Amino acid sequence: QVQLVESGGRSVQAGGSLRLSCAASGRTSTAYSMGWFRQAPGKNREFVAAQTWDGGVTHYADSVKGRFTISRNNAKNAVYLQMNNLKSEDTAVYYCVADVVTQDIRAGKADYWGQGTQVTVSS
């Protein structure tokens, strides 16, 4: 069992920056890949970013490449999402996720989900 708790969601002006954090607890000794999904009202959940447990391989959705950066600190059992140059289209609930298979996260699937944190970008 792994528990994930996101924090850092805010209301921010377009063009601004925001940093989301995710704290993991439970069976964190497992070499999970971790990542982020998001879901806007009335839309399907979509993959945002993923990173292998050792940080060696990173993936991003095309819509956020060059603007978002995923990172992790395994000693703290934490993963982060730095979001720069935010656009109104980035408004969504953001979920921290974990899975033993990185490709599952890229495909929008994950074994473990956090509760979500709201990001609102105004223009």
- Does the pLDDT at position 111 exceed 80? yes
- Supply the mean pLDDT for the chain: 95
The pLDDT tens digits of the residues spanning 1-15 come to 899 999 999 999 999
Read off the pLDDT of each residue in 100-116 and give the average, rounded to a whole number.
Answer: 95
- 27 CB contacts (<8 Å, ≥6 apart)? 1, 2
Pairwise CA distance, residues 80 & 6, whole Å:
9
- Does the pLDDT at position 33 exceed 90? yes
Q: Could you tell me whether strands 58-60 and 117-122 are parallel, antiparallel, or unpaired per DSSP bridges?
A: unpaired
User: What tokens appear for 94 in the block?
Assistant: 């953001």
What separation, in Å, do the N-terminal and C-terminal C-alpha atoms of the chain show?
40
- 87 CB contacts (<8 Å, ≥6 apart)? 14, 121
Q: What is the pLDDT of residue 98?
A: 95
- Does the pLDDT at position 116 exceed 80? yes
Q: Is 115 exposed, middle or buried (0-12, 13-18, 19+ CB in 10 A)?
A: exposed
User: What tokens appear for 107 in the block?
Assistant: 């495909």
- Does the pLDDT at position 74 exceed 90? no
- Does the pLDDT at position 18 exceed 90? yes
**Cβ neighbours around 26 below 10 Å, total:** 13
